[in-house]
Amino acid sequence: MTATGPASPGPVIRVTALHKWFGSLHVLKGIDLGVDPGEVVCIVGPSGSGKSTLLRCINLLEEPTSGQVWFEGRDITDVRTNLNEVRTHIGIVFQQFNLFPHKTAMQNVTLALERVLKKGKEEAREIAERELAHVGLRLKADSYPGQLSGGQQQRVAIARALAMAPKVMLFDEVTSALDPELVKEVLDVMKRLASEGMTMIVVTHEMGFAREVGDRMIFMDEGTIVEEGKPADVLSRPSHPRTKTFVGKIL
């Protein structure tokens, strides 16, 4: 697939017939999905439905068993793909913060800039300062993870991903490990990114966020996309029995 011009660039991410097996366990069963530039897609569903595996396949942290993932019209599942280069364009933030405990917030953000993008120390620091300010942590640059709250650590993780200047951000249940009072500060950062036009695929249990910020909601169950549509429609008027059961339990 190639771009057809400024008026209709096509999906920035396209997933076609994606299957993922772990041994005898069939986790993803023929996923087809397109995400347009600037779109916020929220993925919901019960535990074990394949949501996180889908994100990891899009970012190629997991190798799809079959099917393809396209990024800006390029088949990134091709064996010739430079995975490190792809991952600079498709950032991912996980439930666990995965920060280096012996490095400051600043050092956690500059590490990949220097080692992967080969930025000089001064340029890497300038980028890190900008992105830490972007997530409201400019004054915490010299703090270590152990000196930060869970919400602050997660925001450092977001800044680290943003520092690579990705075109797509994947968020994998990034608030589920946080105390309830810390959830809002992370969601506020994500809302701001959405308002700035960042393309986002968000696996979440935060239905208020999905309803407010999401352009589209996808309900997954047992490795398939069962239903999709506007978040308000999926939450208020689900059409599939499995979606109705899920929404009934969470709302």
For 120, how many CA atoms within 13 A lie in the half-sphere containing its CB?
Answer: 2
On the question of pLDDT at 251 being above 90, the answer is no
Residue 52: closest CA among 157, 163, 174: 174
Q: What is the mean pLDDT of the chain?
A: 93
User: Rounded to two decimals, what is the model's pTM?
Assistant: 0.93
Rounded Cα distance between 220 and 89, Å, is: 25
**What DSSP element (H or E) covers 211?**
helix 207-213
Residue 180's pLDDT is 87
If we measure between CA atoms, which residue out of 154, 166, 149, 104 comes closest to residue 129?
104
Q: In this predicted structure, what is the pLDDT of residue 177? A: 87
Report the alpha-carbon distance of residue 218 to residue 41 in Å, rounded: 7
pLDDT digits (tens, 9 = 90+) for 3-33: 434 444 689 999 999 999 999 999 999 999 9
Residue 59: C-alpha distances to residues 38, 51, 101, 130, 176 (Å): 17, 13, 25, 25, 21
Query: Tokens 């339990």 belong to which residue?
Result: 249
Question: How remote is the C-alpha of 233 from its chain's centroid?
Answer: 23
CA angle 237–242–246, rounded 5-degree value: 75
CB 91 within 8 A of CB 161: yes
Closest CA to 14 of 56, 73, 62, 81: 73
- Between 1 and 232, the more confident residue is 232
Residue pLDDT, tens place only, 156-197: 999 999 999 999 999 999 999 899 889 999 999 999 999 999
Residue range 143-163, pLDDT digits in tens:
999 999 999 999 999 999 999
Which pLDDT tens digit goes with each residue over 236-249? 999 999 999 999 88
The span from the CA of 96 to the CA of 91, in Å, is 15
